[in-house]
Amino acid sequence: MAGSGTAARLLPYLQVAPLALILGVFLVVPILTLVVVSFFDYDSVRIIPDFVWTNYAEVLLSAVTWRTYAKTVWFAALVWAITLFIGFWVAYFLAFHVRSRTVQTALFLLCTIPFWTSNIIRMISWVPFLGRNGLLNQALLGLGAIDRPLEFLLFSDFAVVLAFVHLYTLFMVVPIFNTMMRIDRRLVEAAVDAGANAWQVLTNVIIPLSKPGIAIGSIFVVVLVMGDFITVRLMSGGQSASVGLMIYNQISLLQYPAAAANAVVLLAIVLLMVGAILRVVDIRREL
């Protein structure tokens, strides 16, 4: 009897063990390692186990790092605003203006087609289009709209933001569309019955009820942009920096403890941003 009692008590632990194990091995251990390494010392050839604050001092006291962080946050904010704007209207169109379910599904699948190729290919494909002698410049020159190629199109912040928007708008569309599909259509009717015009229906009913989807999409976009290094590197042609790129460069130079300290700071900032979003919007309804 005592044996079966113990077994009954152990059973729940056994049931959560697989997930706990996976999270432990693939999430907790790496992050702890990161934190530990961020306090190590290093020189040009090796890592020296130690407990020093110099890595953090370098991150937090350097004007370059501050500028890089500011730039990354600026990218994130800009990309967030643009993807939110586009994503919201695409989702709104799909959810409220497309009546037929079949058309809705077809259009939705159409949105996902770019995802059939990798990020890198989608980014690279902008190069022949936006380049100095690219399609766009050629076309504009041919039309006589400009007399010399536009330089800002490629290898610029413009190109970086364009690529981000291209890559991540769908991450905004999907959760917002999802939330909108759950809005009871009778609520729209009730609002119209109470005298609301189309704009008032949008601001008083649809936007408030889409907030969880907006929050989830925002978390996706912000986290992806904050952690990115490859888009910034490829699309800015090395002329712009991001925190991810900075960490990548430190790793290339084998400065692992410095990279780890940077990563910990970035992680903290991203978590704060996500925390702030969750504070504003309750997303539990969607989970």
Partner 1 sequence: MPHDVELVNVTKRYGSGAVAVKGISLRIPAATYCCLLGPSGCGKTSTLRMIAGHESVSSGSVLLAGREVTDLPPAKRGTAMMFQSYALFPHLDCLDNVAFSLKMRGVPKAERRARALHFLKLVDLERYASRLPAQLSGGQQQRVALARALITEPRVLLLDEPLSALDPFLRGRMREELKRLQRELGISFVHVTHSQEEAMALSDLVVVMEGGEIVQAASPRDVFERPATAFVARFIGGHNVLPAPAGDGTVAVRADRCRLRPPDAETYGPHLPGTVSAVEYQGPVVRVALATAAGEAVAMLPDDVFHAAPVAPGDAAVLAWSEDDMHALAPSPSDAAAATLTDPLAAA
- φ, ψ of residue 172 in degrees (nearest 5): -85, -40
Q: Least CB distance from residue 204 to partner 1, whole Å?
A: 7
Q: Are 88 and 77 in contact (CB under 8 A)?
A: no
Q: Could you tell me which stretch among 14-22, 137-145, 163-171, 191-199 binds partner 1 (CB under 8 A)?
A: 191-199
Q: Give me 149's structure tokens.
A: 């190629």
Furthest CA-CA distance within the chain: 91
Quick check: 204 binds partner 1 (CB under 8 A)? yes
Toward partner 1, which CB reaches closer, 130 or 206? 206
Quick check: 203 binds partner 1 (CB under 8 A)? no
Quick check: 193 binds partner 1 (CB under 8 A)? yes
Toward partner 1, which CB reaches closer, 52 or 196? 196
Quick check: 22 binds partner 1 (CB under 8 A)? no
Toward partner 1, which CB reaches closer, 196 or 254? 196
Q: Which of 181, 189, 268, 276 binds partner 1 (CB under 8 A)?
A: 189
Q: Count of residues for the chain?
A: 287
Quick check: 283 binds partner 1 (CB under 8 A)? no
DSSP label at residue 115: G
Quick check: 184 binds partner 1 (CB under 8 A)? yes
Q: Are 160 and 75 in contact (CB under 8 A)?
A: yes
How far does Cα 1 stand from its chain's mean position?
A: 53
Q: Which of 191, 219, 221, 265 binds partner 1 (CB under 8 A)?
A: 191
Quick check: 151 binds partner 1 (CB under 8 A)? no
Q: Least CB distance from residue 89 to partner 1, whole Å?
A: 21
Quick check: 279 binds partner 1 (CB under 8 A)? no
Quick check: 105 binds partner 1 (CB under 8 A)? no
Residue 191: C-alpha distances to residues 11, 99, 166, 177, 216 (Å): 51, 19, 35, 20, 26
Q: Which of 97, 195, 275, 279 binds partner 1 (CB under 8 A)?
A: 195
Residue 45: C-alpha distances to residues 51, 53, 86, 203, 230 (Å): 18, 20, 48, 59, 26
Q: Which of 25, 27, 120, 194 binds partner 1 (CB under 8 A)?
A: 194
Quick check: 50 binds partner 1 (CB under 8 A)? no
H or E element at residue 108: helix 101-112
CA dist., res. 39 & res. 148, Å (int): 52
Q: Which of 161, 180, 205, 222 binds partner 1 (CB under 8 A)?
A: 205
Q: Least CB distance from residue 189 to partner 1, whole Å?
A: 6
CB neighbours of 9 closer than 8 A, spacing ≥ 6?
none
Q: Least CB distance from residue 179 to partner 1, whole Å?
A: 12
Q: Give me 262's structure tokens.
A: 């940077």
Q: Could you tell me which stretch among 104-112, 128-136, 184-192, 220-228 binds partner 1 (CB under 8 A)?
A: 184-192
Terminal alpha carbon distance of the chain: 40
Q: Give me 15's structure tokens.
A: 């049931």
Q: Which amino acid is at 286?
A: E
Q: Which of 52, 78, 107, 192 binds partner 1 (CB under 8 A)?
A: 192
Q: CB atoms < 10 A from the CB of 237, how many?
A: 13
Quick check: 208 binds partner 1 (CB under 8 A)? yes
Residues that bind partner 1 (CB under 8 A): 184, 186-187, 189-197, 200, 204-205, 208-209
